[in-house]
Chain A
C-alpha cells in the first residue's frame, strides 16, 4: 500500500513535472523502517554508525528504533503467524537467529548478492569472519559484531587479582558473591575447563551424562555464592553496588563501567566466550526491498568499523579490523578493548551453536531443576 502510494505520487509528480516542464522534484514521500535492537548504548552505537549516515544520504527514509530485541524471537513468531509483520529488521544473537531461520520466520540471505564487498573487492562471503554468515548451518544471519561473555572484578574488593577463569570457582582465593548468567551456556564450559577437561575435548565430554554431572558438581561448589543474572546490565550494576566481587557479562558492558563510568573494575579476559550479534530480515515485512538496500550499506566495511567508535565490540569483517579507531567521546584507542584483540584473545572459546542447538532444551531443563532445588 505504502509502496503503491509512493510510486503513485512519484508518477503524479513526474506527470506534473512533464506537463509544466519545470524543475518540480518528486514529492517527499517517506518510508519508515522499524529497526528492532537492544536499546541503550547498543542502539545508540547503531544510530551513530548506521542509521544517521544512511538517513542523511537517503532523504526519503526514516529509521525508527524499537528497543524490544530481548524476547524478539517470540514476538517475531507471533507477528509472522498473525501475518501482520510490523518490524523491518531485527537484531538478534546468532543462536536465536538460527531458530528463527529454522522456523522460516526470516528471509534467507545470499551474501555476495545482498551484501557489499570489501573495499579491495573481496566478496562478502570471504570477508566476514569464517563461519559467521552461516552459524549452525543456517543462512539468514548477517553478523555485525563479535562480542564476548567474560568476567569483570572489583579491584578494591579482591585481595589477589584473579588471573584465570578458574578463580571464579575458587572461594578461598576470591571470597564473596559472584554473578553468573542464569543459563547453562558458558557456565557448563567454564565449570568443565576448571575440572581439568582440556579445551579440545570439551564438547565431547559435554555429550556424555558423566560430563554434565561433573559440570554440575563443579557448579555446586559455588552455588551458594552465586547471584544469577538475566540481563547484561545487571552485572556492572551488581559490581558497582558491591553486591558481587566478580561477575560475567558482555565485554561492552564492562567497558562502559570501567572507561565511561570510571568504576574500580578490571577485566579478566581468560576464556572469554565469543558470540555473534547481527541482523535478520523478518519474512513478510512491508519494506523488504528498502531494508535490503539499507542492510547493504549498514554492514559494509566502513560502517562496521565505525560502530566500534561507540561501543567496544569487534566488527565481524576482516577488512573492518584495521579501520577501528578512537572512541567517539573518550578519544581512547579502541583496538586494545576489542575482544578480538590478540592480547585479550589468548585463551577463548567460540559459542558452539550446533552443540547447543541440539542440547539446549534438555540442559535448560536440568539447569532450571538444579537451580530450583
Chain B
C-alpha cells in the first residue's frame, strides 16, 4: 500500500525540490526580461518622469521668503495681522539685519524676494531694490521709523498689506501660482478673490483651447472618416497610392507644413491671389485667413488629420466585408447597413483617434504661435511666454492644470470605452 501514502516531494536530479528549482528558473527568466527593459525604464525615468515631476513641484514651491528671510518669518509668527497695526520694532530690526546679510557683495539674494513678491503685489520689486541700498547705510535703530521714511518707496513698509504678504509667502509651499493660473488672487485682507476683469485671461484661454480642440477633432473625424473608409475598401493598388498621400504629410516636419499654410493663407497668399484673380474678391477685400482663429483651425486640422485616419483605417481593415453583405441580404439599404452595422464597429477607432487628436491639440504650441495671431493662440503660448519672462512657477501651474486635464480625459475614455479596446494600428 505504499502508493497511497502522501507522495514525497518531487525532486530534480540534483536533489533540490522541483518547486524551488522551477521558481529559480522563473526568477531568472524574469530578471533577464527586466534587464532587457531596464534601459528603457531608466530612459523614461530620467528624461520623462523626473523632468515632469520637478516642473510640477515648481508650481507650489515657494523658497524665496522662507530661505532668504528665515528669522523675519519666525518673528512675524507672533504678529497679529488682523489688528491692522504694523509689526514691532523687533521685526523691523530683524528684517533690516537680513537685508544686510542678503545683500553681501557677490552673494546678493535679497532681490529674489522682491521679484517673487512683486508677482503678488506690484511695487515690491522696487521696494526691495531701493531699501537694500538705504538699509545697508543704517547703523542704528529705530529701524521702523527709518525704513518707513525711505524716500518714495518707504510708505510701503508702513502698509500692513506688505507685512501680510511677507507673512503669507513665508510658507515654503504656496497656492498663489495656482490661484493666479485660475485668474484669482489673495487680496490685501487675505481673502481669495477673482482678479479684476481686465486682468483675467487664463480661464478664457483654457476654454478657448478646449473649444477649438473639440472643433479641430470634429473636423478631423469629418474629413478622416471617408478617407479611412476608402483606404480600407479600395483595391490594394489604389489604396497604396492613397496611403502614400496620407503618410507623406505625416512624415513631413510640422514646421514645414505650418509654413506652407502661411504661404497659402496669407493676405498676399495663394488662396487670396487666386480668388482676386478669378474675380470673386476685390483687391481691397481680401479674406483674413491667417493670424486669426481660421488660420489655427485650418492648419491644425490638416496637421492632425493622419492621427485620425490611421487608427480608423486599422479598425476598418478588420471589419469583414461579409457583415455588410449580410445586412444588405436581409433587406437593409446601403445607408441603413452603414449606420446599423458598419459604423458601430468603427467606434473604437473613432475613440482612439479622438483621444489622440484631442490630447495633441490642447498641448499644441508652434502652429497657433505662427498662424494664430491674437484670436487663435492657445494656453500653451501663454505657458511658453511665462517661461521666457522668468515666472516659472506660474508656467508650471498652468502646465499642471493642463496635465491634470489630460489625465482626466484619459480616465473618462477608460471608463466609457475602455483603454484596452483602443486600437492605434
Contacts and interface: CB of A to CB of B under 8 A. Distances in A.
Interface of A: 71, 73-74, 77, 99, 101-104, 108, 136-138, 216, 227-228, 241, 243, 354-355, 357-362, 364-366, 368-373
Contact of B390 (A99, A227, A368, A371): A99
27 contacts: A73-B388, A73-B389, A77-B390, A101-B111, A102-B111, A102-B114, A102-B125, A102-B129, A103-B112, A103-B390, A137-B129, A137-B132, A137-B133, A138-B111, A228-B374, A354-B126, A354-B129, A355-B126, A358-B118, A358-B123, A360-B389, A361-B118, A361-B391, A362-B199, A365-B199, A369-B198, A369-B201
Contact of A137 (B107, B130, B205, B387): B130
B381 to A, nearest CB: 9
A373 B387 contact: no
Interface centre among A71, A77, A241, A362 (most CB of B within 10 A): A362
A275 to B, nearest CB: 17
A104 B109 contact: yes
Nearest to B111: A102
B164 to A, nearest CB: 18
B396 interface: no
Contacts of A370: 198
A104 B375 contact: no
A74 B199 contact: no
A228 B387 CA distance: 20
Contacts of B112: 102-104
B119 interface: yes
A99 B115 contact: yes
Given A108-B106, A365-B199, A372-B201, A357 B126 contact: yes
B267 interface: yes
A287 B198 CA distance: 47
* Secondary structure dominating the interface of A: helix
Contact of B122 (A73, A101, A362): A362
Given A358-B125, A372-B204, 8 more contacts: A77-B392, A102-B129, A241-B268, A358-B118, A359-B122, A361-B122, A366-B199, A369-B200
B125 A357 contact: yes
Interface string B261-278: 000000110000000000
B398 interface: no
Interface in B119-167: 119, 122-126, 129-130, 132-133
Contacts of A357: 118, 125-126, 129
Interface in B88-102: none
Contact of B201 (A74, A77, A354, A365): A365
B188 to A, nearest CB: 15
A360 to B, nearest CB: 8
The 4 A-B pairs with the shortest beta carbon distances in the complex, nearest first, are: A102-B111, A369-B201, A137-B129, A357-B125
A241 B269 CA distance: 12
B374 A102 contact: no
A137 B111 CA distance: 10
A50 B188 CA distance: 51
B204 A104 contact: no
Interface in B26-57: none
Given A137-B129, A243-B267, A358-B123, A364 B111 contact: no
Given A137-B130, A357-B125, A368-B201, A74 B114 contact: no
Interface centre among A108, A137, A228 (most CB of B within 10 A): A137
B106 A368 contact: no
Contacts of B377: 372
B108 interface: yes
Interface centre among B108, B129, B204, B267 (most CB of A within 10 A): B129
Contacts of A361: 118-119, 122, 389, 391
Nearest to A243: B267
B382 interface: yes
Contacts of A77: 390, 392
Nearest to A365: B199
Contacts of A241: 268
Contacts of B115: 99, 102-103
B105 interface: yes
A216 to B, nearest CB: 8
B205 A372 contact: yes
A12 B159 CA distance: 66
A103 B106 CA distance: 12
A360 B374 CA distance: 20
A228 to B, nearest CB: 7
Contacts of A364: 389
Contacts of A73: 388-390
A207 B385 CA distance: 24
B289 to A, nearest CB: 14
Nearest to B373: A228
A108 B108 contact: yes
Contacts of B125: 102, 357-358
